[in-house]
Amino acid sequence: MCHRYLSPILLLLFLFSPKIIGPIRLGDIVVLFLIPFIPRFEASKTEKAFSVVLLVVSITTLWSFASGTNTRGLASALTIARFLELAVLYRLSHNADVGILKITSALAVAFLFIYGAYEFAEVRIFGGEEFDRCFNLGLFQGESNHVAGAVVILTALFPQIAFVSLGVIAFSGSRIALVALVAVVSRTFLVERRYREFFLFILLLLLLASLMSPIARARWMNPLPAYTYAGPHVDRTTAWKIAIDEAPILTGVGLGARPSSVYESCYVLLYAESGIAGIVSFIALLVMIAAAFPALGIALTILSFTTNSLLIAKIAGPAAIILGALKMPDIKEVSSSVEIPTPARGKSVDMMCKP
Sorted by where each begins, the domain ranges of the chain are 3-225+256-327
Residue 270: how many other CB atoms lie within 10 Å? 28
Identify the pLDDT of residue 342.
Answer: 42
Identify the pLDDT of residue 234.
Answer: 56
Residue 270 CA to residue 201 CA, distance in Å, equals 35
The closest alpha carbon to 57, from 351, 210, 272, 242, belongs to 272
Phi, psi angle pair for 331, to nearest 5°: -60, -45
Identify the pLDDT of residue 130.
Answer: 62
Identify the pLDDT of residue 184.
Answer: 96
Identify the pLDDT of residue 112.
Answer: 95
Identify the pLDDT of residue 153.
Answer: 95
Per-10-residue mean pLDDT for the chain, 355 residues long?
A: 79 86 83 82 80 91 88 84 88 86 93 91 72 78 90 93 94 90 95 93 88 58 50 65 88 86 86 93 92 92 86 88 79 42 42 37
Residue 353 CA to residue 355 CA, distance in Å, equals 6
Residue 98 CA to residue 94 CA, distance in Å, equals 10
Helical ranges in 173-228 per DSSP H: 175-191, 195-211, 214-221
Residue 140 CA to residue 58 CA, distance in Å, equals 30
Residue 87 CA to residue 54 CA, distance in Å, equals 9
Collapsing DSSP states into helix, strand and coil, what is residue 166?
helix
Identify the pLDDT of residue 44.
Answer: 79
Region of 254 please: left (phi>0), alpha (psi -120 to 50) or beta.
left
Single pTM value for the model: 0.84
